[in-house]
Structure 1
């Protein structure tokens, strides 16, 4: 009996022109959504922040909408395309647009970091710059889909529009959940307490998370450390 033919797991399988450096860069940009999922999982596991969990839920909802839209519209990809499935709208463009717009809305309208003795948070201007960089990065990923002939310009633009609309709607919904007290109610449940879910990132930078306690412990163990810290300032 002949062996069964092997199949390819095409999760990270990207076609590009090896003689074109831009094409090579675009191939790496195509892996950004997978990388963001790893970042989501890492932050949720390590920080247990409900804000990140809410963002991830919205991200998955945006992906589900893309799956439905593709099978509803049923528009084919470009003729030069090497991939499979329908092309309208671009899932890559929709994914990164949702992420970047949601991140920008959070940094500009919800994140109000408080300075501490050990950390000076980003100013509004710095957060604005980070938001612009996030949006430009999303635009680069979206453009890479056109360059690699995986999508038409229209498919990418519709994907960006769908991602942006999802981001704005989800941000508004989560704002309502916060103002209505639903987020606070979830945090008081036994399940949230069991998994140590918290809500600090609204007023505290992720960089500062735990840092103040670490510095305080070092100062207690090493009296000279406090003097060195003051001199460094």
Structure 2
């Protein structure tokens, strides 16, 4: 009985030429979407339970779903190097990595610009120097490592920019009005889900409330 062909999980199946230090570095850069999803959003949900971040993550999931729909509809092949990378069984247009990172970059930039949550406008320089270079490096890594053509990564980046801006508008112009209702729902109360986007300085607010609670607890013990 012939052995069935094996298929890799493309998001984590990253190869580079042995001995190529730049390729090694870009292979790790190519995994940034995984680090953001697992290390960023999951830890944020566990420790902060912010609705804005939940809808941010939901937008990224919807964006990737749209990416898969387009890929299966267009069915554009990856570059010829796909044979060495064992990725010829998946389609290449548009690049999902580029789409993910540019969606993340534009949404995060808009959150910072409009000072939503714990972000403030002073951090816009950090965003410009960290988030956008990571997005550009991820796009470049997919071409350098042979997973996509230049046209495929630019298509992914353009789609990510559009969907990121559109989703930000949908969330903060429409869905945000339902945040108080979600907070007061059974789900919100069980999981301590909250929205702090209406608080001008969340860090200061949390600090002052924590300090006030500590002082109050000290008085109670003294009694």
Rounded to whole Å, the distance in 2 between the matches of 1:112 and 1:35 is 21
**How far 1:111 sits from its partner (Å)?**
1.8
Give the match for residue 193 of structure 2. Answer: 197
Give the match for residue 20 of structure 1. Answer: 20
Rounded to whole Å, the distance in 1 between the matches of 2:98 and 2:20 is 22
Q: Any stretches of 5+ residues in structure 2 without a counterpart? A: 219-223
- Under a length normalisation based on structure 2, what TM-score does the superposition of the two structures give? 0.83
CA contact (8 A) 1:178 1:184 kept: no
Rounded to whole Å, the distance in 1 between the matches of 2:179 and 2:77 is 41
CA contact (8 A) 1:177 1:183 kept: no
Q: Any stretches of 5+ residues in structure 1 without a counterpart? A: 114-120, 223-233
Question: 1:43-122 counterparts in 2 under 5 A?
Answer: 43-81=44-82, 82-84=85-87, 85-111=90-116, 122=120
Rounded to whole Å, the distance in 2 between the matches of 1:83 and 1:203 is 49
- 1:110-133 CA distances to partner (integer Å, 9 max, x unpaired)? 5276xxxxxxx75x2x32212313
Give the match for residue 221 of structure 2. Answer: none
| Partner residue of 1:187 out of 183, 189, 208 | 183
CA contact (8 A) 2:29 2:134 kept: no
**Residue 199 of structure 1 aligns to a residue in which SS?**
coil
Rounded to whole Å, the distance in 1 between the matches of 2:15 and 2:205 is 41
**How far 1:138 sits from its partner (Å)?**
0.7
Across the aligned residues of Structure 1 and Structure 2, the Cα RMSD in angstroms comes to: 2.9
CA contact (8 A) 1:40 1:52 kept: yes
Question: 1:120-135 counterparts in 2 under 5 A?
Answer: 122=120, 124=121, 126-132=122-128, 133-135=130-132
CA contact (8 A) 2:98 2:160 kept: yes
CA contact (8 A) 2:117 2:202 kept: no
- 1:130-184 CA distances to partner (integer Å, 9 max, x unpaired)? 23131121111111101101100100000001111111110111122256x2222
CA contact (8 A) 1:16 1:27 kept: yes
Rounded to whole Å, the distance in 2 between the matches of 1:209 and 1:33 is 31
Question: 1:106-185 counterparts in 2 under 5 A?
Answer: 106-111=111-116, 122=120, 124=121, 126-132=122-128, 133-178=130-175, 181-185=177-181
Give the match for residue 230 of structure 1. Answer: none
Distance change (3 Å), C-alpha of 1:201 and 1:17: farther
**How far 1:33 sits from its partner (Å)?**
1.0
CA contact (8 A) 1:96 1:141 kept: yes
Rounded to whole Å, the distance in 2 between the matches of 1:59 and 1:67 is 13
